[in-house]
Structure 1
Amino acid sequence: MTTLTLPEFIRRLPKADIHYHLLGGVRLNTMLDLARKYQVDLPEAEAKSYYRAYQTPGGPRKGGIAALTFLYQLMQETADYERVLFEVAEDAHHSGVKYIETFWNPSDVALPYAEINDALVRTIDHCQQVFDITIRLIPSINREKSPEDAVAMVEAMIAHPHPYVLGIGIDYKEHQAPVENFWKAYRLAARHGYKLTAHCSEFGLHWRNVETGIELIGVDRIDHGYSIINNPELTAKYAALGIPFTVVPSNTYFLQQWPKHDEWRVKHPIRAMAEAGLNIIPCTDDWHMHDTHTSKCYQVMVEDFGFDVYSLKTMMLNSLYASWLPQNQIEQWAEEWSRCFDELFAQLDYQPKLSTKELILYRREHNGKK
């Protein structure tokens, strides 16, 4: 029987990434091509400063938010967004991803919302045919802009609805712009049936930002949310409620806080969140900017954070149940993906970090025994 290494096993798993910034998936060569197209002076060394894979110790380092800001200013035509989304789908396909919910920031785009959204929708249909990958859209508030800009974004969504547009989010630097500043936009979106999510407590900021997102704004899930573990009472409450937290193993803030790998892997709040019973879902955030991909995120959960291989099945399914797909689609994929996991698990040549009791229970489940 064919055996699989852990990386190959993970790559072949069907996966969903429900926290993915569209322009965080821009390849380096694409950024350079776009700069040439618009005659923007962008030396390769400067372009590389946006990408973790090319950054050197002590060298220039701009990071993901700076990359998004630069790219939104750079990209001037719908064809640019079509190219980026197609390449995102291509990369995700090679990592075994079957479903993506991707953020983009309409208030940062040079063209009207409807033009970009129509271009993205066309590309989604094309990618479905070419890569058998499903992509859906989450217009996202740039919290560094005004609450009125956020309301205008939602009004554009309402004026130009499309079934591929599932809800709204909020991102960029949170320090001076907590989610409650944008309550009007969220309330308007909710009244028109859109789902809600929010980046909260991403950069070590206070757990109150998570509490506000859930209790006041009424979000369906939290993006990041790491500081919630500093409030055990709320952590227990949200664990019991099953609130989804899309967590990012490659989060820049914690890599900078604990640059030593052994310290990072032990102290990263993802571990504590899982131990507290929170519903955590590994996601990529900014794929190329963070030098990661969906399979790598899952692998980090096992090899760095100490989760057993079987727990990946739970995370895989939780990513579906936390998604904004129709319930019948979720149930269908959950059954198919579970079966795929079990078949691949049987071929895995890896010592899973399961206790003997847990392994016996899993094998009984896999074999259909009581």
Structure 2
Amino acid sequence: MQQESLTLSDFYHQFPKADLHYHLLGGVRLNTMLALADKYNVELSEIDAKCYYRAHQEETGKMKGGIEALTLLYSLMRAPEDYFQVLVEVAEDAHACGVKYIETFWNPSDLPSEYANMNYQTVTDALAEAIEHVEHTMGLVIRLIPSINREKSPEAAIDMVNDMIAYPHPYILGIGIDYKEHNASVEKFWKAYRLAEQHHYRLTAHCSEFGLHWRNVETGIELINIERIDHGYTIIDNPELTEKYAQKGVPFTVIPSNTYYFKQWPEHKDWCQKHPIRAMAKAGLNIIPCTDDWHIHNTTSANCYRVMVEDFGFDLDSLRVMMLNSIDASWITEQQKQQWRISWSEMFDSLRAKLTTEPVIPQEHLIQYRR
């Protein structure tokens, strides 16, 4: 019997993955945004909605940022069933790309205060119901990371953590922090992080995302006890710290579709050569490719790994290492990690054996990432 063959596109879609840096509302489909606006009689034309989605940038002539998209979407999510719907749609899209596990951020402090039914407990229950539905129907596991909106006050962050403490849930694993970092580095929110740590929540943070100083990563790790860094690209500007965190194995969730670097190097060739993800890998840092804002960024998990190979020059052995990195850096139980290390490796190797061809990468561009 002739062995089934796979194209590289098939392979990118089918091998198992974990996405540890996924903003729930960044995965809202365009049609869902429009439907929510219609449901609540919010004036939003299709062309205005498309401005939030990179896929339509040429059509609209402008691109509003991901943060602006999240701000709008939180104002449109006015009932628990909206969160249920969005999480299920996120799971459907991820499942089609071989994703087996997601840790997704959402921002409780952005719930619209004018709707009394939209509180932390109600939304957590809606998301938990969706998680159970998804796991039962698709086998995809999703867990939640309430995230601090750093554009709001440190006191609002403490309120969020107190809500978590008052209503603990097994699907809530830890806290994060996101939104614009420029005037709100992570140490500003040390009390919220300290409180979360005292109640045994895991800690992650967006640091040094927009070309900002590597000091934000150092502060997060050394002072706040952050265990996983989201973005963190400018750490490579400090070779001593880079080596230290490489040796410690600090996980960095990196985003090939990061908007800042698209703007830095609009020429595709420059972007491929100069993106800091390449330097981070060469330095031996523990990197995990993630999608960040799936539909807003016009990417998928399959495309994320395709870019790592076809644009950044990683070989397929490197993808296998990154896949295992994603398991190790996850906040799932150790028992589940052990099972996935075995089953995902077997699946990766089995699928790879069916490839009709492996990618051909010029030697001068090739990265063989081995940790």
Normalising TM by the smaller chain, what interval?
A: over 0.9
Q: Distance in 1 between matches of 2:333 and 2:359?
A: 33
Report the CA distance shift for 1:354/1:304 in structure 2 as closer, same or farther (over 3 A).
closer
Q: Distance in 2 between matches of 1:338 and 1:182?
A: 39
Tell me by how many angstroms 1:60 deviates.
2.4
Q: Match for residue 38 of structure 2?
A: 36
Amino acid at match of 2:20: I
Tell me by how many angstroms 1:353 deviates.
5.3
Q: Distance in 1 between matches of 2:49 and 2:20?
A: 27
Which residue of 289, 296, 307 corresponds with 2:296? 289
Q: Distance in 1 between matches of 2:169 and 2:287?
A: 29
Amino acid at match of 2:321: T
Q: Distance in 2 between matches of 1:8 and 1:240?
A: 34
Tell me by how many angstroms 1:355 deviates.
11
Amino acid at match of 1:56: E
Q: Which moved more, 1:141-150 or 1:55-64?
A: 55-64
Which residue of 165, 177, 185 corresponds with 2:192? 185
Tell me by how many angstroms 1:250 deviates.
0.2
Matches within 5 A, 1:259-274: 259-274=266-281
Which residue of 52, 55, 71 corresponds with 1:53? 55
Matches within 5 A, 1:1-370: 1-56=3-58, 59-110=61-112, 111-352=118-359
Amino acid at match of 2:351: L
Q: Distance in 1 between matches of 2:341 and 2:283?
A: 25
Partner of 2:305, secondary structure, is: helix
CA RMSD of superposed structures (Å):
1.3
Count of paired positions: 356
Q: 1:81, 1:119 within 8 Å by CA — same for their partners in 2?
A: yes
Q: Distance in 1 between matches of 2:325 and 2:307?
A: 17
Q: 1:309, 1:353 within 8 Å by CA — same for their partners in 2?
A: no
Report the CA distance shift for 1:323/1:170 in structure 2 as closer, same or farther (over 3 A).
same
Q: Distance in 2 between matches of 1:3 and 1:90?
A: 25
Q: 1:221, 1:243 within 8 Å by CA — same for their partners in 2?
A: yes
Partner of 2:168, secondary structure, is: coil
Q: Distance in 2 between matches of 1:58 and 1:2?
A: 42
Unmatched segments (≥5 aa) in structure 2 = 113-117, 364-371
Report the CA distance shift for 1:105/1:328 in structure 2 as closer, same or farther (over 3 A).
same
Q: Distance in 1 between matches of 2:36 and 2:14?
A: 32
Q: Distance in 2 between matches of 1:259 and 1:354?
A: 22
Structure 1 runs of 4+ aligned residues shifted over 4 Å read: 352-356
Q: Distance in 1 between matches of 2:311 and 2:233?
A: 18
Tell me by how many angstroms 1:61 deviates.
1.4
Q: Distance in 2 between matches of 1:61 and 1:298?
A: 24
Tell me by how many angstroms 1:322 deviates.
0.1
Partner of 2:223, secondary structure, is: helix
Q: Distance in 2 between matches of 1:76 and 1:155?
A: 22
Partner of 1:56, secondary structure, is: helix
Normalised TM-score (structure 1): 0.95
Q: Distance in 2 between matches of 1:320 and 1:343?
A: 19
Amino acid at match of 1:323: S
Q: Distance in 1 between matches of 2:255 and 2:19?
A: 11
Partner of 2:176, secondary structure, is: strand
Unmatched segments (≥5 aa) in structure 1 = 357-370
Amino acid at match of 1:350: T
Partner of 1:55, secondary structure, is: helix
Amino acid at match of 2:32: T
Amino acid at match of 1:176: N
Q: Distance in 2 between matches of 1:303 and 1:127?
A: 32
Identity %: 65
Q: Distance in 2 between matches of 1:35 and 1:103?
A: 22
Tell me by how many angstroms 1:338 deviates.
0.5
Tell me by how many angstroms 1:16 deviates.
0.5
Q: Distance in 2 between matches of 1:218 and 1:264?
A: 32
Tell me by how many angstroms 1:350 deviates.
2.1
